[in-house]
Amino acid sequence: MQAFTKITATVAPLDRANVDTDAIIPKQFLKSIRRAGFGPYLFDEWRYQDIGEPEMDCTNRPLKEDFVLNNSDYQSAKILLTRENFGCGSSREHAPWAIEDYGFRAIIAPSFADIFYNNCFKNGLLPIVLSAELVDDLFSEVAAGYELQIDLEAQTITTPDGKVIKFDVDESRKYRLFNGLDDIALTLKQSDKIKAYEAERAKRAPWLFVAQ
């Protein structure tokens, strides 16, 4: 997994609440058995005029000009600014895969859906929760060339005029994201604890340890 340390990047404003994972990556693209290549189909129905199909070449597809990602001001954006309950709906990890594959590294919103929030950390994406008021302020400031600096270690966002906003993140999630660590390798180091748990649990719930 790609580590997240510090970035300074353009911000793309997606001014909608309850953006669901069906909107982030429509279901036809979930038929892929690969993990990469979802970026061109990110927000497919909002981004293109035609109906997207898996493996389609997107270079010449007609664009919906009013969609934020089609605005030339935000082409190199690595930070997505959006509204509450971002990523609600399906658990599809294809949603963070598509966002990351497109080039985003961080998402700022007043709230995220739980499963999506969790999935971001497995994919080098930093979801940042700020108060609705702070998010409102950022929406009012965003314009062409507007950049934010995000520092995970310091847990700060710095605006172009030097204002510093603190954000919260769990220590263990931060540690793994900052170092780009593989969760499974870390968990397997605790194999002895898992086996001890199983031995103890087998006494309390033997039916879960009958071979099926």
Distances (CA, A) of 27 to 42, 43, 49, 68, 212: 11, 11, 17, 22, 33
Q: Which is nearer to another protein, 6 or 170 (CB)?
A: 170
Among 6, 27, 49, 154, binds another protein (CB under 8 A): 27
**CA-based nearest residue to 30, from 80, 98, 85, 86:** 98
CA 160 to chain centre: 23
Q: How many chain residues are in contact with another protein, going by CB under 8 A?
A: 62
Among 67, 115, 155, 159, binds another protein (CB under 8 A): 115
| Minimum distance from residue 71 beta carbon to another protein (Å) | 18
Q: Which is nearer to another protein, 93 or 165 (CB)?
A: 93
Q: Residue 205, interface with another protein (CB under 8 A)?
A: yes
Q: Residue 49, interface with another protein (CB under 8 A)?
A: no
Q: Residue 155, interface with another protein (CB under 8 A)?
A: no
| Minimum distance from residue 148 beta carbon to another protein (Å) | 21
Among 93, 99, 125, 126, binds another protein (CB under 8 A): 93
Q: Which is nearer to another protein, 33 or 144 (CB)?
A: 33
Residues in touch with another protein (CB under 8 A): 15-18, 20, 22-23, 26-28, 30-35, 45, 51, 54-55, 83-85, 88-93, 96, 111-115, 118-119, 122-123, 170-173, 183-184, 187-188, 190-191, 193-194, 197-198, 201, 204-208, 210-212
